[in-house]
Amino acid sequence: MFRGSITALITPFKNGEVDWKAFDDFVEWQIQEGTHALVPCGTTGESPTLSHEEHNAIVKRCVEIANKRIPVIAGTGSNSTKEAIALITHAKADGADAALVVTPYYNKPTQEGLYAHYKAIHDAASLPILIYNIPGRSVVDMNVDTMARLAKLPNIVGVKDATGDLARPAEVIQKIGYDFCQLSGEDATTAAFLAQGGVGCISVLSNIAPRLFSEMHEAWFRGDVKAVAVIRDQLAPLAKNLFCESSPAPVKYAASILGICSEEVRLPLLPASENARALIDSAMAHAGLTQGSSPKIAHG
């Protein structure tokens, strides 16, 4: 259903407000660069600091610009089931192709609570749902048995796996099967995740290197393992350094270098520090990313 390089879109800001012109141009650029699908209003889009009105407007605008050329997977998660239902209902009405729903953060539901949360969202809106399992931010980890129960519901179609556990994809295949869409949530281990049975990555890195990240996936799909390794190594410093401080501050700094948008983030996040900037500058040079450039694949 979904595969390849899927960008977890940053939300451009200007003087505290959404920079709509920058957002429009950014979405179009992502499509032209070969990105396979888009995720507006995920964590990378600073969803915790967006008002409900901003959240819904961003999803709607992304759907309009994409215009069915590539899928739009709207971030609609919340630690309030009622709020998540409201967000997914809006996303469905606005024409999103699917929803990405994060495991509830802070309130730490049990596995049974996780099941009940996702089932309620599933039953409220007829839209394909990807589970977003990210224990590092949510504290809770949905185990594979709970995921297998949820996968029996017709619109629970896959997972964004940000556990960092590379044994997990194979275990999911054993218990759920190959039709369950497994997408990585960790840029640095994308190639390994694909090798373990994954079909793509919902990526921070592809905000600034969409063509390279897309080409890495295309190389995997056609069985060109050498090309995968070359691009993996070209992007490896970026995959690490974009997380040297709380995301999305580092990737927004990188985006500002490329002229995509300002580096502005919303409190409680702060712009990337001088140390982070130096790390990102070095990683971008390694990847061949400069303003106005169209980076080429390095030859190993």
In angstroms, what CA-CA distances link 11 with 40, 79, 174, 244, 271?
Answer: 8, 21, 37, 20, 14
Q: Is 106 a catalytic residue?
A: no
Return the structure tokens found at 59. 């999803």
If you ran DSSP here, which 8-state letter would residue 204 be given? S
Q: What is the H or E stretch that residue 253 is in?
A: helix 249-257
- Active-site residue, from 118, 160, 252, 253: 160
Of 132, 152, 175, 253, catalytic: 132
CB-based contact 221:231 (threshold 8 Å): no
Active site residue 132: yes
**174 Cβ contact partners less than 8 Å away, ≥ 6 residues apart:** none
Give the torsion sign (CA, 25, 255, 165, 286).
positive
Q: Tell me the residue type at 231.
A: I
Report the residue count for the chain. Answer: 300
Q: Which amino acid is at 8?
A: A
- CA nearest to 111, candidates 76, 149, 83: 149
Decide the pairing of beta strands 181-184 and 17-18.
unpaired
| Positions marked catalytic | 132, 160
